[in-house]
Copies of this chain bind each other. A is one copy, B any other.
Amino acid sequence: MLQEHEGWKQVQAAWAQYKEAVAAGGNPQALYQEMVWPHLLALWRVAPPVVPERMPFRASLHTLGTSPEATALAILGTGAREVYVLHTEESRRFLERLRQDTGVDIYPIEIGKSDVAAIYREVRRLLERYPEDPVALDVTSGTKAMSAGLAAAGFFFRRFFPKVKVVYVDNEDYDVALRRPRAGSERLIVLPDPHEVGGEVDWLFASELYGKEDFVGAAAYFQRLVGNTGNQAYTLYGMLAELYRAWRALDFKEAARKAESLLEALSRNVWLQHPLNRHFQRLRRQAELLQAARDLLATADLGNRQGVLAVAATLLYLSERYGKRGQTTLAALHAYRALELLLQERLRRFGRLAEAPRLSPEEAEALAAELGRILPGDEPPRVRERLGLLEVLAFLRVLGDPLLASLEVRALQGLAGVLKARNQALLVHGLQVPTEKQVEQVAALARRLLQDLQGEVGVQPDLEAIPLPR
């Protein structure tokens, strides 16, 4: 306890004597320097009171105005070995006093009294010198511009240098008659991070990650929020983030399960007022889409058209996203698979399967002829026992699929090489890397088939993440 410290008792005694001396008509300023200040310094040299606790600061940066006493206490309170002081032309004269009071070899940096840019620059320079160490930025003294600028810099740079702290000297008791803090009531305060104080600030980080589609990161923050606030409402946001995490990872089973749990929770009395309930209908439609996809994967029944729609729409959505991030190989892979799945579904309408098409001799001949038209000049393609992407497409034309039969041969000729190349792609069996243009050719046809399927099923798939409330 500070109050039991011998030095503190001496400060109290000195303060009482000082008050008497002032009352007797002495000069308050001179008497304070003589009677109180040496005791206060002696106390802060050995046992500075720091809230919440003393910390091992490696370096400290202080603004210096016209009240050097508070800065002296801040220097002793942080206890840093490397001490930098931002002073103005006017406050330069206090530097020597500060060195004597603290016994520390202070490094001075002169700045203009309203030069916020200079403060930012010096803070950054200091933090880059001690990137891994605790650094204190003391805003106690100096002009408004200086201390506001220093506090701003502190919290801005915390993002990159997490060990920086903003500190200031406060007092618990102000003597109104003497117009100064009661000696011994001063404290060095380490300003808490908004993050540490309000657990709910995690909500902002969670929203930020969710907005960037980092659903893994968002879910982790929602989980923490439940723990830190005890508010189970965040569990529902966690389910939502995990739903999209699983969906984007093509884990339709898990995504459907999360969607079902979320809808179930939102239907309970306790959560009827939950903000996500405003999106209940949208969530229900997304859940239906995910269930259809899950069922397709479980049964492999291509007659499940809504399932095909859901999976193909997801693959195309991801293809586009990978393309935008410069991930052409992944974009190609997803577009190929979307197209193939949509073609497989159309073949199924004729009762045929790509992996066992059971071609009659006439059909085999017609398919070979069709492939010859699409790939003129190539040696006549051999029709193999299972149909690849290009063969399915050609066979659907033979079978009279209205959409595919309506495509012009010239358009297909451009696509044929791309489709033939699929098995040679780096992520399949070969070493080829597709170009963006090739991906777009595949995706364009897939989108056309998807649109046709949407019309038939009567569902416009909605894959966007539900927005979080602010």
Cα–Cα distance between A191 and B144 once the two chains are bound (Å): 11
User: Judging by beta carbons under 8 Å apart, are B426 and A297 in contact?
Assistant: yes
Given A152-B191, A201-B124, A249-B328, A334 contacting B470 (CB threshold 8 A): no
User: Judging by beta carbons under 8 Å apart, are B432 and A297 in contact?
Assistant: yes
How many copies, total? 2
Given A140-B144, A208-B159, A433 contacting B253 (CB threshold 8 A): yes
Given A139-B148, A148-B139, A151-B151, A194 contacting B300 (CB threshold 8 A): no
User: Judging by beta carbons under 8 Å apart, are B431 and A296 in contact?
Assistant: yes
| Residues of A104-125 whose CB lies within 8 A of B | 114, 116-117, 120-121, 124
- Is there a chain B Cβ closer than 8 Å to A101's Cβ? no
Given A152-B191, A216-B325, A325-B216, A250 contacting B433 (CB threshold 8 A): yes
B-side contacts of A208, CB under 8 Å:
159-160
User: Judging by beta carbons under 8 Å apart, are B337 and A427 in contact?
Assistant: yes
B-side contacts of A329, CB under 8 Å:
249-251
The residue from B328, B337, B470 contacting A428, defined by CB atoms under 8 A apart: B337
| Residues of A294-345 whose CB lies within 8 A of B | 296-297, 300, 311, 325-330, 333-334, 337, 340
Cα–Cα distance between A308 and B467 once the two chains are bound (Å): 44
- Is there a chain B Cβ closer than 8 Å to A25's Cβ? no
B-side contacts of A433, CB under 8 Å:
250-253, 297
Cα–Cα distance between A29 and B115 once the two chains are bound (Å): 31
Q: Which residue of B lies closest to A70 (CB)?
A: B144
Residues of A within 8 A of B (CB): 114, 116-117, 120-121, 124, 128, 131, 139-140, 143-145, 147-149, 151-160, 166, 168-170, 189, 191-195, 197-198, 200-201, 204, 207-208, 216, 245-246, 249-253, 296-297, 300, 311, 325-330, 333-334, 337, 340, 354-355, 426-433, 470
